Amino acid sequence: MEKNTLPEEVRAKADSWLKANIDQETRGQILRMLEHDENELIESFYRNLEFGTGGLRGIMGAGTNRMNIYTLGMATQGLSNYLKKCFSDLRLIKAVIAHDSRNNSRLYAETTANIFSANGIKAYLFDDLRPTPELSFAIRHFGCQAGVVITASHNPKEYNGYKVYWDDGGQIISPHDKNIIDEVEKITSIDEINFDVDQSRIEIIGTDLDQIYVNRLAELSLSPDIVRKHHDLKIVYTPIHGTGVRLVPMALKKFGFTNVYNVPEQDITDGNFPTVHSPNPEESAALSMALKKADDVGADLVMATDPDADRVGIAVRDTKGNLVLLNGNQTGSLLIYYLINKWAETGRLKGKEYIVKTIVTTELMADIAKKYNVETYDVLTGFKYIADIMKINEGRKSFIAGAEESYGYLAGEFVRDKDAVMSCTLIAETAAWAKENGKSLYELLLGIYTEYGLYRENLMSIYKEGKSGAEEIRKMMDNFRNKPPDNLGGSSVVAVHDYLKQETLDINKNARIPLSLPKSNVLQYLTEDSSKISIRPSGTEPKIKFYFSVTGKFTEGEDLENANRKLDEKIQGIKKELGIG
């Protein structure tokens, strides 16, 4: 690229960084790009890495559009300024910082703690990598006003992120999310970041808190006698190079499980994730080594957690003895079924209990809850909204569990985010309970389908890159919003939920009914035969997502694979009717 084709704004941003008080490594990277790689320079500086409603996430490197100690520092300075405004009446503001196994995560965590301390905020910093749910637990345990976890969840190895939590232990929501964004955007220069660390305000958190956290998890056990009886249930667990490596086995042992096999190659905490293409437990390839290990040892259950150990994917044996992967809706339904049954059996249902799920998660969970007169709350996509319902109901109602289709689950009220450490223990306990009743987890799921009907879900994403792609997605949403179909999958569309307009169109009554959930660009079509189709643009990627949920009868002894195939054909037909098949 010719020198004169370099956008002036990019060169100006690069020059401003070179004039700022930056480290020599960053300075060298910028100079190298100026001399030898102007395309990379443009990618690194053409915009500012956006501090979204949850925090930062991006490719690591030098520049305003990259994750580094300076973009992270500006975010932390803005957050510090906001905390001092919100909690000006407190003598001491406190925050916790945790991180996962990604490259640079420790550096970013220490940098965050240093900037907090420089701004007079006490920083509790974990001594090493820890699961995200333990950060949530620590915020509540230490009575902190905020928390930050350094993680990019299941993104590729080139990425890292910065996720912000509030004083209830949940991720930030309105109005704090937008207010923090405003404060972060006021920081326009690296030199505005206070890097003058005050070591007296930094406290290192060690393994003592791990034990407290695991002890609290153990209090969630509803079948300790059954676990003792089936303690030798064969379990294979992999952290996929992430933070679950120590605490998940520790928690399973605390519950009483004694036959847990690891995958040694994936116990190595490595931010390059060398054994997988993507450390995402939603993808079958990420579990391939664990599945092989399970076949080698004859395991009944396989569990895999993502790098920050807030989501878990599982595999179970079908009726032919083959390992099959369950999706997030299936695993969540098994957990909800087990927990509600045990609450009922032990006399804990008093009429004020509830579960929470997201609007794109299976209605099977709501059907299970309804049978036991347990209330179901539907919330927008994102576990932070589940945590908000818990905060609203705290002290008034009893939370049983929360779940989302994207492999995140929670029980108990001492953590306020999805918790894969907790989920692994309760999934294993559910397997022991099923075994006590003469069933496998797979057979337990078949029984649920027989009782409540077979639910089949599918997610489809359509990518549209660049500015033109964003415009195309906008037009697609406008079309789906303004011209809803009359029929889908052979059944009449009876209602349209429009979360942007915050209203439901009841087609049979030709009435518009207000929706109470926050405004969000999501559409849902509901049909007479209980199909649910949800459409929403992604908030973090250039794509539009379609969630399909269809249901049908399922009889005892019926082959699940054949029954699912019929429902898959129905979903495929609906895709064609929507013009995306």
Alpha helices in 346-415 (DSSP H): 364-371, 383-393
Does residue 465 fall inside a structural domain?
A: yes
CATH number of the domain residue 489 falls in? 3.30.310
With a pLDDT cut of 90, the percent of the chain lying above it is: 95
- Is residue 1 scored above 90 in pLDDT? no
Of 1, 27, 4, 3, give the one whose Cα is nearest residue 14: 27
459 and 434 fall within a common domain = no
Domain boundary residue, one of 451, 472, 499:
451
Q: What is the pLDDT of residues 311-321, one digit of tens each?
A: 999 999 999 99
Residue with tokens 């294993």: 428
pLDDT over 70 at 3, yes or no? no
Examine the domain organization and report whether 191 and 335 are in the same domain: no
CB 13 within 8 A of CB 6: no
Asked if residue 210 belongs to a domain, the reply is no
Q: pLDDT tens, 339-361?
A: 999 999 999 999 999 999 999 99
Is residue 214, in this structure, part of any structural domain at all? no
- Which whole-number Å values give the CA distances from 494 to 27, 56, 210, 523, in the listed order? 60, 40, 50, 14
Domain assignment of residue 14, yes or no: yes
Beta-carbon contacts of residue 292 (< 8 Å; ≥ 6 apart): none
Is the residue at 359 inside a domain? yes
Q: What is the pLDDT of residue 469?
A: 87
Candidate list 153, 223, 423, 549, residue with the active-site label:
153
Tell me, yes or no, whether 541 lies in a domain.
Answer: yes
Of 394, 418, 451, the one marking the end of a domain is 451
3-state SS assignment for residue 284: helix
Q: Specify whether 470 is located in the same domain as 354.
A: no
* Domain limit, last residue, from 396, 431, 451: 451
Quick: pLDDT tens for 112-133: 999 999 999 999 999 999 999 9
Q: Quick check: 92 pLDDT over 50? A: yes
Sheet holding 398-404, edge to edge: 375-379, 353-358, 398-404, 408-411
Contact (CB, 8 A) for 469 and 476: no
Q: Does the residue 118 lie in any domain?
A: yes
The overall pTM is greater than 0.75:
yes
Residue 549 among the catalytic residues:
no
Please report whether residue 231 resides in a domain.
yes
What is the number of domains present in the chain?
A: 4
Question: Are 446 and 459 in the same domain?
Answer: no
**Which tens digit of pLDDT belongs to each residue from 34-57?**
999 999 999 999 999 989 888 999
Asked if 464 and 331 sit in the same domain, the reply is no
* 304 and 412 inside one domain: yes
Predicted pLDDT at 144: 98
Task: Please compute the mean of the pLDDT values over residues 14-22 and round it to a whole number.
Answer: 96
Verify that 300 and 435 share a domain, yes or no.
yes
CATH label of the domain that carries residue 197:
3.40.120.10
Q: Check residue 286 and give its pLDDT.
A: 97
Same domain, 27 and 93: no
Q: What residues make up the domain containing 459?
A: 454-577
| pLDDT single digits (tens) 268-304 | 999 999 999 999 999 999 999 999 999 999 999 999 9
Identify the pLDDT of residue 250.
Answer: 98
Answer yes or no: is pLDDT of 547 > 60: yes
181, amino acid identity: I
> What pLDDT sits at residue 542?
83
What mean pLDDT do residues 478-484 have?
Answer: 96
6 & 82 share domain: no
304 and 429 assigned to the same domain: yes
Give the C-alpha separation, 460 to 464, whole Å: 13
Q: Which residue has the tokens 């079309």?
A: 479
CA angle 371, 376, 382 (to 5 degrees): 140
381 and 358 in a common domain: yes
Task: For residue 321, count other CB atoms closer than 10 A to its CB.
Answer: 9
Q: Are 441 and 471 found together in one domain?
A: no
Token match 């937008």: residue? Answer: 178
Q: Could you tell me if 546 and 524 are in contact, meaning their C-beta atoms sit under 8 angstroms apart?
A: no
Each residue's pLDDT tens digit, 410-458: 999 999 999 999 999 999 999 999 999 999 999 999 999 999 999 999 9
